[in-house]
Every structure is written in structure tokens, then in C-alpha cells.
Chain A
């Protein structure tokens, strides 16, 4: 398959279309505007629907509706816009509706900065809305990975009846890179995916009480509500098998960089630069930031590792809290941070590595 040069946002949208996504609703915000723009062109070509909603809240609820009717559906936004969508996402999690959404995150909090950042880690992995629900959160570090994870996200969503979040940053969203696109699902395959949902989705059910489908974001009965939450918790616990992580040169490392997304990629190049200079540096890059690959940190040789260096485009550091839970006090944890729309500098990471090695 020939590679094509694509912008991250457009590649995410194309991957979704190829995965059978036939409904997208969104609302403009930088730096994710190329996602809705691309869908607006592409959806009519494949018989799908694009809606620019009147707001973030409206568009996420349109996706809730379309996904309830069995169609693979998606929305996207950037940090403050994702915050507005959180009600709809929590509702989708409660009603166990499969949907995919992307956060091409920017500086925050508040309206923040329009430039790239990784300030939404807690929001994405811990509480994307009220009620303590969980989602798989996939964090690409290249445009190719953004394509592959988006394609896969629809399968996870359908398997679990749960929202899935693509957590990318403004660099991944706006940069262009060669990609190989996954195969386009045929109209028959897309129809079969929808038909397989007939048991629960609002597809052609008769208007009588016994046969109706019932999509409900919550339960009035306390016993039923607890049972729903227990079912969901069991499903979250099953994600252990889906953990994805890149471990690079970890075995003998004296410094292990922990980083995800764009920072993970920059961290990996720092490892190469250090190794070329004879410095023993490694990398652990969570690809699923939820479920988090805690076990990967057990592969560090703590008899030689001087510190784990948490690298992220967030101040205060957020990823570091999961890193702390993974390292369990076995070595010190240092941070190398930037924020506000500034992009992680390779020089800064190199300096932080050298400072640890000099200790």
C-alpha cells in the first residue's frame, strides 16, 4: 500500500471513515478543525452524514442519538470543547453506547492557548464526566499510530458498548507525515456491523412496549443502578489484555523516560541520541494511557536505574501520578515539563537526563 502525506486530523477522520464511521457531528475549535472539515467533504462520498452542530453539547448528543441507532459515530473537539461534551460522554457511558471521540488537546485550563499541550491527562484518564465511568484512552505519538488506533477504537467501542477516546495533542493533529491507510470497510461490512446491533439498538423495533429498545443513561431503581455499575466495573477490569505500551531500551537503563503522545516520540529520539553517546537511557511510552501499563515499570532494573524521568507538556505534571503508582517508590522520579502551548524541547529532555546521570 502506497504511503500518502496526511495531516494528523485528516488522517484520523479518514481512518474513521474506513472503519465504517458514517455519522459525525462536531463544532469548530482550533486545533482540530481539520477533522470536521475533512468529514464534511468525505461523508457525502460514502453515504454518511456530517453535521456541524450548533454547539459542542448539541453535537455530542447527536452522536449519542446516531450511535443509539446502531451507526458507527464520532465527534471531536479540543480541550475546552471536550469539557463541554463531558455531559454527553458520561451519558453515553451510562447508557453503554459505543462511540468514538478525539481530543486534539491544547493549552489549558479554561480557554487556554490554541497551541499544542498535554494538559488534559487527568480529565481524559480519570474523569471525563460525572459518575466515575471509565473509557479506553488511546494516545498516538505519530500520525500512523493515530490512524491505526482510530481504526481500532471503533472495534473496542462496539465490543464494550462504551465510549473510546483518542487523546492526541495539537502537534499530532496539525503535523503532516506519511501514512499507510487501513482497508476501507465495504458497504456490506458497514451494514453488517449495524445489523449486529439490532438486539439492543434502536433499529426497526416495533412500537409496542415489549419489543421496544430502551436506551437509558441511568436507573431509577438503586439495585438496578448498582448492578449496572458492577457490570461496567467488570468490563473495565477486562481491559488488562488490551494494554498497549512501547518499551524501548529499558533493561539496562540508568534513566528511564516515561512519556506519552508527542512527548513519547521526542523522548524516544532522546534515547537514540543518548545511546549513540554511550548513555544508558530507555523509554516507557504508554499507548493506552487508560488502562495504564503499570506492569511495564516492573521491567526496569531498579538496581541500576537512577531515576524515572517523567516528560510531559503539562504543568503541573499529571502523568507523573500514574508513574508514581507504577514505580512504587523503587527509584526517584524527576520531571521535565513545559506548558502553555510550548512544545517539548529535545534539548531540555537531554539536559534533564544528563542532570540525573551526573548525580
Chain B
């Protein structure tokens, strides 16, 4: 069993961090193989950024596949760029705050909507949108147990304990939203 995930969005949306949290959780708490491969241009904030996470019971050949099982899209341009790579029956997670559902021109994929930009703003910190989306992804796919992912986030934020309650809330809201769409 191998899952190929692509996470795509603007630089600054925490796309890489989302992928790294997932890869780290898989490394720490499972015996699966995992790879994380970042891809970005010379730009930082505002440029495009995407990463590939492969989780597998067996050896991982290609750290970035040609065909994605799952796709997380955080902005409009990424939808146009990566939707064609999603396999038939693949799972598409969109940031429905800024990605227009009508632009999803495929009916052979499963669409999971999460208005993570608005949800993050409601929580008072626009930066937690990636943690909400990670929650949505885990809640829906259960590719790695939710508590393992949370422990990883907790560990990674260890030096900034005051951010923990907000991130915990963000992750749990995401989980709930992901589970509700199963």
C-alpha cells in the first residue's frame, strides 16, 4: 500500500510545514517508509510552493510520483496545475475560502472542502490554516493516527508553548471537518 500526496499553495501558507508534520509523524510512530520532497522556485512568500509526501508499507521508489492519490490545494493556481495529476477516484482537498469549487472540472474525484483561510482568521491567527488542513486530511484519510500527528506538532512547537492551545484547537477543528465529510 502506497499513498502519494501532493500539497500545493502559495509560499507562506505553510505547505511545506504541513507535509513535514505528516512525514515526521509517520517516521516517529509507524514502521512505514516515508519520503518528503519539497519543490519551490527562487521565490519565498507569495511564490508557488508544493511538496510531495509518499507513505508506503514497502520500499519507496519515486519520492514524487506522476499520479497522485491525494491532493491538497491551498490556492487557485495550484488547482489548475495539479488537478490533472490526481488519479481517478483520488481525493481532492481544497481550501474552499479561496479555491472556487466551480473550477474543479472533474467529476471522477472525491472533493473534500475546507474553508481553512476563514477558519484560521476566525481563530485569530491566519497562520494556522495549514494545521487545520492537516487535521482535515488526517480526519478524512486516517493515513496516520490523529494522536500521533498531534504529538508531532506538539513536539515541533516545543520551543513555543504559547502557540500550543491555538494549534490544538486548529487541528481538532480540522479533524472534525474531515471526519464529517467521510
Contact = CB atoms under 8 A, between A and B. Distances in A.
Contact of B62 (A115, A176, A178, A265): A265
A268 B38 contact: no
A111 to B, nearest CB: 12
A5 B34 contact: yes
Interface in A158-179: 171, 174-178
Contacts of A266: 61-62
A25 to B, nearest CB: 25
Contacts of A262: 63
Contacts of A343: 64
A345 B36 contact: no
A26 B35 CA distance: 27
A315 interface: no
Given A4-B27, A5-B23, A345-B66, A174 B61 contact: no
Contacts of B23: 5, 176
B163 interface: no
A114 B58 CA distance: 31
B42 interface: yes
A346 interface: yes
Interface string B46-64: 0000000000001111111
Nearest to A350: B66
A143 to B, nearest CB: 8
B33 A178 contact: yes
A272 interface: yes
Contacts of A345: 66
Interface residues of B, number: 23
A269 interface: yes
Contact of B35 (A114, A175, A268, A347): A175
Given A4-B27, A5-B27, A347-B66, A270 B35 contact: no
B34 to A, nearest CB: 6
A171 B66 CA distance: 15
B176 interface: no
A269 B27 contact: no
B20 interface: yes
Interface string B12-47: 000000001001100110000111111100100000
A176 B16 CA distance: 11
Contacts of B64: 343
B61 A265 contact: yes
Contacts of B67: 347
Interface of B: 20, 23-24, 27-28, 33-39, 42, 58-67
6 contacts: A3-B27, A5-B24, A171-B37, A177-B60, A343-B64, A347-B66
Interface of A: 3-5, 114-115, 171, 174-178, 262, 265-270, 272, 343-347
The list of the 7 closest CB pairs from A to B, nearest first, reads A269-B61, A176-B36, A5-B27, A178-B27, A175-B37, A347-B66, A266-B62
Given A5-B36, A265-B62, A267-B61, 5 more contacts: A5-B24, A5-B28, A171-B63, A177-B35, A178-B34
